[in-house]
Structure formats: structure tokens, C-alpha cells
């Protein structure tokens, strides 16, 4: 088995050597990543040294940690000391941070082996990993399709069997949406549950780091490792870290599960689901959510009802404004965060006749079209005369979203929705920006509220491609969320294997 838990258990007992495990995964990367392009860099020699040190610790009778010898891929916007962190942008090409992100430190301290840095939409701005300066990542289920984004490289690496675990960042769905499209598990924790120190910022009030895994138990293990208060991050929550793995054994009997009316497309909109009528609610249904995806959500709700949960409909009205509010706030924050890339302090520098021309030429050469567009839109939203009309109003909608979710969680323990409005789409199919932005319709609300949410594979949709069901919970409600996710995983129909790799994730 190549599940992270099995690898770590075998390495700790000496049944397998960390160096042998690593070579298996490096061999798979060498054979197939030329087709997928999950990685911007494979850190083979550094990984070999780490794996050798873990084997030496085992030989000496020491416990290397809960992730002993597990290869882990890190999204290329997480700082890694002495290893290039590019954010898939020419602006930072070759830049080597002088420190590790906190999550890199905690994973390494737990015995993980960094196997490489994964591709992403430039500065995490995208939903398909088509907007990388170093070329797109392809979906292991179908190389003609996108893996989702912006953490598409991390999702593809796990789905293709290049690493048992990966970390990504989620600003508007950038962990959950690619997890859904690649048929794996992805978690966005509560905002502040995991330190953001060392994550290159896109939109600081939304950004959160979380794990990808082939199953819920591995994801819970990784979440436990990276969670915890960090004095280096002022938004880090000073709360104890629960035993997330123990939560997987909890029964869902008696739990109240709400299916979000606004996010369930054209499915059973006028009927209660799961045989229950608790909290039946009608809401304005958002356009663009495919019927095959919606049907999987209702089947997941039925499975939870069969397991003893009480299932009903719930309306979260502010969800209908989430996309607009998010893109105003996130782009405003991006315009501020990316102002630091001016050719002066680090990264790319294009010489000019004076400082102003140097700044202009550097940003023109260093940023791709999508990033430039978002910076300009965000700057406009913050400009004099427009701030209150756009940014200020969007912040008020964000507060309404928070209140609507609080009201929903007064009646329900968890909420269900699609993760992505569609299965993996073909390259170039969503060239129109608004069509692309709608990929995040279902995931953005939890970023606006700051609550935890995760994607769990639950069957297939069009052309036998994976569908993910999103489980949402109130702030710091990861334990209940994981218990429900584990129940869904047990009830889920088996997924076909990715066509690309023998022995890949199932």
C-alpha cells in the first residue's frame, strides 16, 4: 500500500526503508510527469538525504514521527529554504527563500520527505492551472483536461501517484476544486487553524493552507500535523489541536445535515432529501451547476440519511452574491500584496532609464496576463471615488455571508453542496474570464465566512470523470466535518483509476 499511514507505519517498524519508498515515487515521477507536469521542481537529492536520515533514526531506535518517510509535494507558493519558490511566475523565477514556511517545518519535523514543488496558476490566481508561466498541468484522468486550480499541480501529483500527500493553498477553492476534478480528498481548514507564515500571499484574509490525500484518513493525519498556533502568524488561532484521526470513528447518527439550496442546481429542488424534512428551505438556485454533479450530492445526502443522519434543505441566501463579493475583495488585496514585486527588493528586475520605468518594465515582463488583469481590477476597486461603491459594499456582503452561515449552522451540524459545478473540463473550454471564475461558485462561500470545508470523491459524472461532494462545517468544526467525510467515503461508489499511471490513487 502507498497510503501515507501505511508507509509511515512500515518505515517506523523497519518493514520498509524510507529510501526505498522514495525511489519508488521518484521512478513514477520520472516515468510520467513529463506528461502531467505536476512539478515545477523535483528535489530528488535533498529528498534522498532526508530519507537516509530517517532510516538512520529508525536504525538507532528513534521514532521519526507520524509521517516517517512519507514523500510530500509542496505547492510552489510555500517558501522552502534554499529551494526555488516561484509561484509559477517569471517574477520569482529562481528565487530561493532564506527560510521555510511553518507548514514545511512541521511536515519535515513529523518525518515527511519533500519530493518537490508543484505547479500552480501564477500567484494562485486561477481555477485550471492553465495560467502558469511554466506551462499547464494536466489531469491524470484525461490529459486533454485541466486538473483544476490553482493548486492543480498538488492535486495531480497525488492523483497520479507521484506523492501520497501534498499541500496546497485555498483562497477561493484552490484546494477543494482541484481535489474534486482529480478524484481525491482536499481540505480547507478554518481560517487561522493552520499557519500562513511562509505562504506567498494572494489575498491575505482568505488564504489558507491545507492537505491533499487519496483518502480521508490520510488527509486527517496531515491536517493534524500542520495545525496549531504559530506566533509568527498574527491570524493564527490559539486553540488546541483535536485528534482529527479519532474523529473518523464517530457515528453520523443523529447529526443534522443541510443540503444548500442555492448550490444544488437543477436537481431535486422541490423535494426533501434523505427522507427527512428538517429545515426544508427554498433558495435562489445559482446557474451553471451541472445536473450530474448535483445528483451525486443528493446521493451523498441519501447515504448519510441511511447512516442515521437527519437530512434536510437549507437556504444560505448570501451565497448568491459570493462570487461578486469575493472577486472584489480578493483582487483588492492582491493589488496590495503584489505591489512588493517592483524589481527593487527581490525577483525579476528589468532595467529602465529611471526607477519608474524599471518598475513598469519589470511588472510588464514578470506578470502574466491574468495576474495583470486582477491587479488592475483590484486597484480600481480601491481607488478614490470607487472604494465605498465596490470594496466597501463587498465587505458588507461578506458580513451577510457570515451571518447566513451562522444561521444555517444553528439548525444543521454540517452542510453539503457540490465542490465544483462541473467535472474536469478540456483545455481552452473556459477561456472567458467570467466562465472560469464561476468554477469557484460553490467553494468561495466558505472562504468568505472563514469556515472549514472539504471535498470528498463521490462517484462520477460526465464521461466517467470524478465528482467531489463538499462538506462544510462551522468554525473549528473540522472533527464533525471529517466524521461526515469518512461516512461518505465508506458509502461512495468506487472511482475508476486514472488512466495515466498503473497503481495510481483509487
Catalytic residues: 75, 150, 174
Tell me the C-alpha distance between 440 and 436, whole Å.
8
User: What is the chain's Cα-based Rg?
Assistant: 22
Name the phi and psi angles at 385, rounded to 5: 95, -15
C-alpha distances in Å from residue 133, one per residue of 87, 200, 472? 9, 16, 33
Tell me the angle at which helices 322-337 and 369-382 cross, rounded to the nearest 10 degrees: 100
The CA angle 145-72-97, to the nearest 5 degrees, is: 100
User: In this structure, are strands 310-314 and 453-460 parallel, antiparallel, or unpaired?
Assistant: unpaired
Q: Which residues contact 277 (CB under 8 A, 6 or more apart)?
A: 312
Q: By the 8 A CB rule, do 449 and 403 touch? A: no
Tell me the C-alpha distance between 165 and 482, whole Å.
17
Name the phi and psi angles at 457, rounded to 5: -60, 135
Name the phi and psi angles at 41, rounded to 5: -150, 140
Tell me the C-alpha distance between 47 and 71, whole Å.
8
**Comparing C-alpha atoms, which of 278, 279, 277, 283 is closest to residue 263?**
283
Amino acid at each position: 500500500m502507498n497510503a501515507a499511514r501505511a508507509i509511515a507505519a512500515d518505515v517506523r517498524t523497519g518493514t520498509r526503508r524510507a529510501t526505498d519508498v522514495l525511489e519508488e515515487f521518484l521512478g513514477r515521477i520520472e516515468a510520467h510527469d513529463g506528461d502531467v507536469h505536476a512539478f515545477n521542481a523535483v528535489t530528488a537529492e535533498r529528498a534522498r538525504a532526508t530519507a537516509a536520515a530517517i532510516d538512520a533514526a529508525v536504525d538507532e531506535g528513534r521514532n521519526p514521527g507520524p509521517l516517517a518517510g512519507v514523500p510530500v509535494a509542496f505547492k510552489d507558493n510555500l517558501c522552502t529554504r534554499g529551494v526555488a519558490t516561484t509561484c509559477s511566475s517569471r517574477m520569482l523565477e529562481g528565487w530561493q527563500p532564506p527560510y521555510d514556511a511553518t507548514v514545511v517545518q512541521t511536515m519535515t519535523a513529523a518525518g515527511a520527505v519533500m519530493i518537490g514543488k508543484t505547479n500552480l496558476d501564477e500567484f494562485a490566481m486561477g481555477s485550471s492551472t492553465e495560467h502558469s508561466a511554466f506551462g499547464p498541468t494536466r489531469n491524470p484522468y484525461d490529459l486533454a483536461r485541466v486538473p483544476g486550480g490553482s493548486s492543480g499541480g498538488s492535486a495531480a501529483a497525488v492523483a497520479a501517484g507521484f506523492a501520497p500527500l501534498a499541500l496546497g493553498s485555498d483562497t477561493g477553492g484552490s484546494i477543494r476544486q482541484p481535489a474534486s476534478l482529480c478524484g481525491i480528498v482536499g481540505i480547507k481548514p478554518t481560517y487561522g487553524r493552520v499557519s500562513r507564515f511562509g505562504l506567498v500571499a494572494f489575498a491575505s484574509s482568505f488564504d489558507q493552507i491545507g492537505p491533499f490525500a487519496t483518502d480521508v484518513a490520510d488527509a486527517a493525519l496531515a491536517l493534524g500535523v500542520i495545525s496549531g498556533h504559530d506566533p509568527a502568524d498574527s491570524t493564527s488561532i490559539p486553540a488546541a489541536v483535536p485528534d482529527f484521526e479519532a474523529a473518523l470513528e464517530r457515528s453520523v447518527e443523529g447529526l443534522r445535515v443541510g443540503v444548500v439550496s442555492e448550490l444544488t442546481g437543477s436537481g431535486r429542488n422541490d423535494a426533501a432529501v434523505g427522507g427527512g424534512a428538517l429545515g426544508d428551505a427554498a433558495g435562489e438556485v445559482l446557474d451553471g451547476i451541472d445536473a450530474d454533479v448535483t445528483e451525486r450530492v443528493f446521493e451523498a445526502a441519501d447515504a448519510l440519511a441511511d447512516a442515521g443522519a437527519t437530512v434536510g434543505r437549507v437556504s444560505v441566501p448570501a451565497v448568491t452574491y459570493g462570487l461578486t463579493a469575493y472577486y472584489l475583495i480578493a483582487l483588492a488585496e492582491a493589488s496590495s500584496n503584489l505591489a512588493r514585486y517592483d524589481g527593487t527588493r527581490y525577483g525579476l528586475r528589468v532595467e529602465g532609464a529611471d526607477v519608474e520605468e524599471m518598475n513598469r518594465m519589470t511588472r510588464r515582463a514578470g506578470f502574466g496576463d491574468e495576474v495583470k488583469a486582477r491587479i488592475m481590477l483590484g486597484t480600481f476597486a480601491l481607488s478614490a471615488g470607487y472604494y465605498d461603491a465596490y470594496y466597501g459594499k463587498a465587505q458588507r456582503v461578506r458580513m451577510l455571508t457570515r451571518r447566513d452561515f451562522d444561521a444555517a449552522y444553528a439548525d444543521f451540524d454540517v452542510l453539503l453542496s457540490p465542490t465544483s459545478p462541473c467535472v474536469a473540463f478540456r483545455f481552452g473550454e473556459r477561456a472567458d474570464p467570467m466562465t472560469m471564475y464561476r468554477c469557484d461558485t460553490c467553494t468561495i462561500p466558505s472562504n468568505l465566512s472563514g469556515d472549514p470545508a472539504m471535498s470528498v470523491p463521490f462517484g462520477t459524472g460526465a464521461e466517467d470523470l470524478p465528482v467531489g461532494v463538499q462538506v462544510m462545517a462551522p468554525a473549528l468544526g473540522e472533527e464533525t466535518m471529517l466524521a461526515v467525510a469518512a461516512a461518505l467515503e465508506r458509502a461512495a461508489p468506487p472511482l475508476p483509476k486514472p488512466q495515466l499511471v498503473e497503481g495510481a490513487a483509487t
